Each structure stands twice: as C-alpha cells, then as structure tokens.
C-alpha cells in the first residue's frame, strides 16, 4: 500500500497535476459558491417559501456542476495529455503506451477531472445547508445564513490563495469577499426587479 501511494505521489510530481488541480479547485469552488448564491438570491426575491425548492434547485445545480466539471475536465485534460504524449513519442521515435509516464498522465487526468467536478459541488452544497434547518429556522434566516456561508467559503478560498502566493491572508480573503458582495448586490438588483 505504501509503495502504491509513493508511486501515485510520483505520478503527481511528474505530471505537475497537483498544480493544475489546485488552480481548478479554487476556480471551480469559487464558481460553485457564486452560482448557488445566485440561485438562493433568485429564490428569495421570487418569494419561494418552500425550502425544498431551494434545496432541490441547489442540489440539482451542484450535481450538474459536478458532472460538467468531471466530464469536461476529463475530456479536455485527456486530449491535452494524449497530444503531449504523441509529441514525446515522435521525438523519441518510441511508443510510450506502457510506460511510467503514460500511466502518470492517465492518473493526472483522472485526479484533475475529479477535483474539477467535486470542488464546485462541494462549495455549492455548503451554501444550501441552512435550508435543511427550515422550519426550525425561517426562510429569511436560511437565506442570510446561506449568503454568510458563501462569503465564508470565498474568504477561505482567498486565504488558501494567499498561502500559495505567500501574500497577506486577510487581504486576500477580503478581496474574495468583495467579489461575493458585488455578486450579491448585482444579482439582488436584477432579481428584485
């Protein structure tokens, strides 16, 4: 088992998949949070009074983002890696199908696709959690809690990015929150009319 884990870690290093996966995680978690913020705001201003509608819409959106992310990233990453492998084969005048590099490339494609699909679904799922507490809490409370969780997700993503780039944590988190607030304002203005 330990050897297998070391081999998979080696695959990640050879292919630089961890860097790609990290970028996709942040971008798609960001997309998932903002998308569900839009759904929640739209439901609120449309007068939806049934939490089940928000939950099913949120889950539907989360699942769709997950499927889209996994399949789209898998197909795109697979094509890019196959192209790179063919270029390398032509340069080396040797078939690389059954090599460490080919297996690493396949593994990287799988991991990148998985991260691409899970990250937006995960962040989106966090935002719909308050609606599971209705009727213990009101729909208005669930709405504000959802937006608060969304801003917390964005703040966390900002801190994560700051750690990667060795920048100021709080500033980066606040910048992400500002994007969330701008989104809330714009979507609220559109939904309220």
Q: With respect to residue 116, please indicate whether it lies within any of the assigned structural domains.
A: yes
Q: With respect to residue 186, please indicate whether it lies within any of the assigned structural domains.
A: no
Close Cβ partners of 81 (under 8 Å, ≥ 6 residues apart): 15, 105, 106, 108, 109
Q: With respect to residue 59, please indicate whether it lies within any of the assigned structural domains.
A: yes
Helix (H) or strand (E) holding 140: helix 139-165
Domain count, the chain: 1
Per-residue pLDDT, 6? 83
Model confidence pTM above 0.95: no
Q: Is the dihedral of CA 55, 154, 188, 140 positive or negative?
A: positive
Q: With respect to residue 193, please indicate whether it lies within any of the assigned structural domains.
A: no
Candidates 135, 114, 166, 163; CA nearest to 55 is: 135
Per-residue pLDDT, 104? 85
Q: With respect to residue 70, please indicate whether it lies within any of the assigned structural domains.
A: yes
pLDDT tens digits, the chain, 193 residues: what are they?
A: 888 888 878 878 888 888 889 989 999 999 999 999 999 999 999 999 999 999 999 999 999 999 999 999 999 989 998 998 888 878 888 887 888 888 888 989 999 999 999 999 999 999 999 999 999 999 999 999 999 999 999 999 999 999 999 999 999 999 999 999 999 999 999 988 7
Residue 39 domain boundaries: 2-150
Q: With respect to residue 183, please indicate whether it lies within any of the assigned structural domains.
A: no
């Amino acid at each position: 088992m330990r050897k297998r884990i070391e081999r998979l870690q080696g695959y990640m290093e050879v292919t630089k998949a961890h860097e790609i996966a990290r970028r996709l995680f942040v971008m798609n978690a960001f997309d998932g949070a903002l998308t569900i913020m839009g759904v929640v705001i739209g439901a609120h201003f449309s007068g939806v009074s049934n939490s089940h509608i928000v939950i099913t819409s949120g889950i539907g959106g989360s699942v769709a983002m997950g499927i889209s992310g996994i399949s789209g990233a898998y197909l795109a990453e697979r094509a890019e890696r196959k192209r790179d492998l063919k270029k390398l084969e032509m340069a080396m005048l040797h078939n690389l199908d059954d090599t460490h590099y080919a297996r690493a490339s396949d593994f990287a494609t799988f991991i990148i696709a998985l991260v691409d699909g899970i990250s937006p679904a995960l962040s989106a799922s966090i935002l719909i959690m308050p609606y599971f507490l209705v009727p213990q809490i009101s729909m208005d409370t669930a709405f504000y809690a959802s937006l608060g969780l969304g801003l917390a997700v964005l703040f966390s993503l900002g801190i994560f990015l700051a750690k990667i780039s060795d920048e100021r944590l709080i500033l980066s988190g606040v910048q992400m929150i500002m994007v969330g607030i701008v989104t809330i304002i714009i979507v609220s203005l559109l939904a309220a009319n």
